[in-house]
Chain A
Amino acid sequence: MKSLAKPGGWEKFFWPVLAAALLLAVWHFSVIWTATKVFPSPLSVEKGLAELLRKHVLWADIGDSLRRVAIGFGTAVVIGIPLGLTLGWYPAANQVLNPVLQILRPISPIAWIPVAIIFFGIGDRAAIFLVFLGAFFPIVVACVSGVSNVPSIFRRAGRNFGLSPAQILARVVFPAALPQILIGLRIALGIAWLVVVAGEMIAVDSGLGYLVIDSRNSGKRYDLVVAAMLLIGVIGLALDIGFRRLEKIRSVRWGFRS
């Protein structure tokens, strides 16, 4: 049965630290036991990380990746939210547009690379375009379902108080749908982070994704590869946590308390 005893406060740190320590130990010893010449041990990863920090390349790469995410994600928000709200508000429009979206959505942004290169050439813009594609669909979908899930009581109250359809959309439907939209945005941000790293592995020559693949290609520096991977994980996590903070703001918190 579910463990009933409430874990003490200290356990919040104890268990994850224990698990992490175990993981590191297993990692360390498997490197030693298999006598691998290539796969890095935890220590060499740490040294590699320090090396990257010293060389200052790291900050430029991190900055590049974040910048691409910011622009691509920002564009997806600016275009996707109004579109999603409209489609959610006018089911007829959604009916028409939805099949197109459903066909485009399963195409990995990475598969768009050749097309992106045609339009944007190799480089920053192509990567930003990929990020946009990755974030766009989840945002639209979240807006559509957010709007359709607004209880009809709210819409009726809006009509009752004499609000025009535009006012109802702005003052009733949008705030009511906001929690769900925020969740969609957070998920889209996570996807954007995945896409930018993947895109940088193929279509550009800077950024954390590029760092991963370059470290391997130019010298089999797997210690740097793993260091970069861990950085990617940590930054992605930071983005996620930061976004969750938004969900705690008073005027939307109502939607997240259950």
Chain B
Amino acid sequence: MATRDSVTTSVSGVKLRMEHVGMVFARDGKSVSVLEDINLDVRDGEFICILGPSGCGKSTLLNVMGGFLSPTSGSVSIDDETVHGPDPRRILVFQERGVFPWLTVEGNIGFGLSKLSSSERRHRIAHYVQMTRLQGFEQTYPSDLSGGMKQRLQVARALAVNPDILYLDEPFGALDSVTRFIMRGELLRIWQTERRTIIFVTHDIDEAVQLADRVVVLSSRPAKIQDILTIDIAHPRNLSSPRYLEHRDDLLKKIGLAYAV
């Protein structure tokens, strides 16, 4: 197994732990079980992808992890603390339309920074403008930004408050495939510069193999963890290498098991 800086230098502790998490919704008088017995340990600084088709409950899982939903059974703990609600230490990035249209790029990035002094604030905003390559657009409003830029802005806004965990809910789903490609590279670059734990939800197998340290495969509803696959290729990953294709085929097979046609 090829070692990478990313794996060996990460803190050994468990950052996020889910134990026997289940989620049941009441809809029109019937109870719908969306998540069942989810057990997962995420290490600090890991890049985890949650993979599954649309509607299987991935977003619900993310919302439970982030504290926006309380699980009907089981518990989620971060740094050994049970999660009770949303917290700036773990920021959720949405698929689209998450940026505030009434604030400029600067305004959005600075949104969570009101507790800092104004010089600190400016400094931090400039830093993340740089990091997400939005220089020159500081005074621009989101309606004048492209889809990819809006997502970069969301990421910048999230990173600016220095969260431990970043949840990304199919953040590139609304972008064209070329932009998606570029954005994946950008995300990895940012992750390697400022290491955080990233939990990334996607329905795209290639995306999962390209980005993740580990891929969590969810079964169809009620979602259970079907499998967890470790991708042990160093970044940057060569997308035509045999190892990459092996992982990809492996995943495809595993999905095939999970979703019998």
Contacts and interface: CB of A to CB of B under 8 A. Distances in A.
Interface stretch (A32-40, A80-88, A172-180, A189-197): A172-180
A160 B168 CA distance: 13
A257 B143 contact: yes
A123 interface: no
B86 A156 contact: yes
Interface in A64-122: none
Contacts of B142: 254
B89 to A, nearest CB: 9
* Most B Cβ at <10 Å: residue of A156, A157, A162: A157
Given A254-B141, A254-B143, A257-B143, A160 B88 contact: yes
B87 A175 contact: no
Nearest to A178: B102
B161 A161 contact: yes
Contacts, number: 53
A255 interface: yes
Nearest to A172: B100
B100 A161 contact: no
A153 B91 contact: no
A253 B68 CA distance: 31
Q: Is the interface of B mostly helix, strand, loop or mixed?
A: loop
Given A153-B97, A254-B142, A254-B143, A161 B91 contact: yes
Nearest to B115: A162
A175 B97 CA distance: 15
Contact of A255 (B97, B98, B101, B103): B101
A149 to B, nearest CB: 13
A27 interface: no
A154 interface: yes
B53 interface: no
Interface in B93-136: 94, 97-98, 100-103, 111-112
Contacts of B143: 254, 257
A216 to B, nearest CB: 49
A251 B102 contact: yes
A172 B98 CA distance: 12
Contact of B98 (A153, A159, A251, A253): A153
Interface of B: 66, 68, 85-88, 90-92, 94, 97-98, 100-103, 111-112, 141-143, 161
7 contacts: A153-B94, A157-B94, A157-B100, A160-B86, A175-B102, A178-B102, A253-B141
